[in-house]
């Protein structure tokens, strides 16, 4: 008899979030308003940064960030192929070109040695866009040093990295602009949404205007100021990227819990690490320079020691009622990127090999110990040849 399906990911929503959303609904203010402003202020305190802008997705935030640093058509931006497509597609929004480099075989973050080689052999590079894979920081000291040497900007994709600390400093206080995701599977979930953080007031002002159609002040600010509520000015062709107060209401309560969420994710990761130590797999590498947010727990199957492939492993987990995923299908394998840049699968060999072995296991705060042990039993049964 198959047990109740254990999904790969679930948001952890309590009565606090529900009550905050109900309060918003009863307030009559549903778009960007007091809850969004409060969420931004509390997030700024949490990260330790002066400027925060809530947006309707991490993708939107990355787009605004690249606009703010002045990316133009034809510019090149170094980034990783081992990510979700949003990281690179925002570069194309501006007519710029992603310059992919391979990943580190331990952390699965962008390889700084490959960044250095790309900088030596390419012109027109204006920025580096690292992704803090699974919740572990990239090698930011090396990236910052290269950015300084070549006069580049750094925009960080921190979709997985809340909260993550690099050498004691919060991700979000390192590069020029950092963007977080609050998608439903993330460590802080508002369903859809994201947050931009920066210490640069000029960037913040530019992105604030572009976030809502290039309007000089949003409707909440206009209703709170001395100018007539109907008056506004368009100062640039902008976008519809603002967060609404319903999502912000969720974010306010989720932020209060984010450290507790991290504690539970870490407990689950430690149980996995201990249980899987002697199995034909690699458990996630933890770099001493970075904490780990444990948005993802990605194992690497040692296929040369197994009688099954990665896809069969996933199917057998599914048959047992346990959800898994794969992070990520490298971008150079997808039709658009492959055809546009004439990529071959072997162009990024570490990313390819990592993908072929990768399985992401369930890890989220509402998993109880029985759920965790169920995952462990099934993984062991498959990899020890009992299934």
Q: Token digits for 245?
A: 């107060």
CA 218/CA 220 separation, integer angstroms:
6
Which of the residues 35, 76, 153, 186 is marked catalytic? 186
Q: Which residues pair with 55 in a beta bridge?
A: 194, 242
Q: Output the CA–CA distances (angstroms, integers) from residue 103 to 140, 161, 184, 349, in the order listed.
A: 14, 17, 26, 9
Active-site residue 240, yes or no? Answer: no
Q: Where in the sequence numbering do the catalytic residues fall?
A: 186
């Amino acid at each position: 008899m198959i047990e109740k399906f254990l999904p790969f990911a679930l948001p952890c929503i309590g009565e606090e979030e529900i009550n905050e959303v109900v309060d918003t609904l009863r307030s009559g203010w549903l778009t960007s308003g007091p809850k969004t402003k409060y969420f931004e202020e509390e997030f700024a305190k949490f990260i330790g940064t002066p400027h925060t802008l809530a947006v309707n997705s991490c993708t939107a935030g990355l787009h605004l960030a690249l606009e703010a640093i002045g990316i133009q058509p034809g510019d090149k931006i170094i980034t990783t192929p081992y990510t979700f497509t949003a990281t690179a597609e925002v570069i194309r929004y501006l007519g710029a070109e992603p310059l992919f480099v391979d990943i580190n075989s331990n952390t699965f973050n962008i390889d700084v040695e490959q960044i250095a080689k790309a900088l030596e052999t390419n012109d027109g590079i204006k920025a580096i866009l690292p992704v803090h894979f699974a919740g572990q920081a990239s090698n930011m000291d090396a990236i910052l040093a290269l950015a300084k040497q070549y006069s580049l900007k750094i925009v960080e994709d921190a979709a997985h990295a809340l909260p993550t600390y690099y050498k004691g400093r919060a991700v979000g206080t390192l590069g020029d602009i950092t963007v977080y995701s609050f998608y439903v599977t993330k460590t802080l979930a508002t369903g859809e949404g994201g947050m931009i953080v920066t210490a640069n007031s000029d960037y913040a002002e530019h992105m604030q205007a572009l976030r809502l159609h290039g309007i000089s002040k949003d409707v909440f600010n206009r209703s709170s100021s001395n100018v007539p509520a109907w008056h506004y000015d368009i100062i640039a062709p902008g976008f519809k990227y603002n967060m609404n107060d319903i999502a912000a209401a969720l974010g306010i309560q989720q932020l209060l819990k984010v450290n507790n969420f991290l504690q539970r994710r870490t407990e689950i990761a430690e149980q996995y690490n201990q249980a899987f130590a002697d199995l034909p797999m690699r458990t996630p590498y933890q770099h001493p320079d970075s904490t780990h947010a444990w948005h993802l727990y990605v194992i690497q199957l040692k296929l040369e020691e197994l009688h099954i492939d990665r896809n069969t492993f996933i199917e057998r987990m599914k048959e047992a009622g346990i959800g898994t995923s794969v992070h990520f299908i490298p971008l150079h394998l997808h039709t658009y990127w492959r055809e546009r840049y004439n990529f071959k699968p072997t162009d990024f060999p570490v990313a390819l090999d990592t993908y072929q072995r990768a399985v992401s296991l369930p890890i989220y705060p509402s998993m109880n110990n029985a759920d965790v042990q169920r995952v462990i039993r099934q993984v062991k049964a498959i990899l020890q040849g009992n299934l």
